Structure 1
Amino acid sequence: MRAYSEVTEGSRTPAARPASPRGDPDTGPVVAGRRPEPDMTEQPKSLRLMIKADTALPSRFDGGWWPRSAALATELPILIGALTPRLGMVRRIGYNPDTWGLLPRHIAVDGHAIRLEGFTGLDPYSLRITGMTSRVLFLLVVPPEADEHTGRTALAAACTQNGLSRHILAACGASTQH
């Protein structure tokens, strides 16, 4: 039995619209009474997140997240959406500005302001995410440029290993140099 579960972002489906004999600029004309399949070439990629099971042995991190870019403020809304069922509404996120640069003080997600707090003393490749009920998740952040094998290994290690983020990432083969 695994000590973690992988969380993925749900796939989006195009909004239903009434069929028109003239067609539609997104999907083209109606052929023989039926619409062609919608263009799904821009499907969102799955969220690369693993959260430790509640029954798992204690370790430093509650899980791992592997963003697709180093633009943390852009990546966070997707992560927050996935964590909301577990944490409730997210109130604040702590990050290390030496790793991620300075971010705006707040970001809006689904109409709610979330405070971003930069702490140079925070483990460099980690996020401290606090919900409205003061429940906290501490996530190891895998560098976005990690290859597939290294990234997956680091996500699993985040759920089972103790130690600083740079040590866990180095043991998995990930570079922590910017």
Structure 2
Amino acid sequence: MKRDEYIRILSELAGPLGPFGTIEYSDKKTNDWYDTFDTDSIDVLIDLLLNPPSKKELGYEIPEYFDVELDDALVSIGKKFFAIFLEKIKVLIELKHLRVTIIYILGGIGHQEGLGVLSGFIENSNDLTDDEIFGLIDSLGRIGGIKAEEKLEQMKIMYSDQNDILKQIEIWLKNIKNKDK
């Protein structure tokens, strides 16, 4: 499949259901497409992340919805081919405009090995935006486990003077502990 085919499918998935569509049908259509992914799909999807389609390529579609579908497709392919995907996505963490997306995707995949990349963001936390900080908290919480819990505790100390961040950390720590019971 080529870039234009991926754009077309993602645009269709991002579009309205129509008068006869259902959420169930849309979900099935989406999952059926995800099932066709192979390792070559990783490069096409990452290319779409790096080089978003132009308005001309998108046609009538609203770019915000396209981005949501692309993020979901990246999460899906990341789950399917995690090791290969992680190696390719790791090189993108230096691109500041993609950090929130990468954080979201790794949390969505939920693989423990994604914690290594997320930990790198925490270690270099001086220039994190609020969206990145809250994204990290969410992703660590979604991945869960002892290492994620340790990173959340570390963030608790780092942001001890910021109540809104601390509240979010506490919510995820409680959630992780309840999951482990």
TM-score bucket of the superposed structures, by smaller chain: under 0.3
Q: Which has the larger radius of gyration?
A: 1
Q: TM-score with structure 2 length normalisation?
A: 0.27
Structure with more contact order per residue of length (Cα contacts < 8 Å, sep ≥ 6): 1
Please identify which structure carries the higher helix content.
Answer: 2
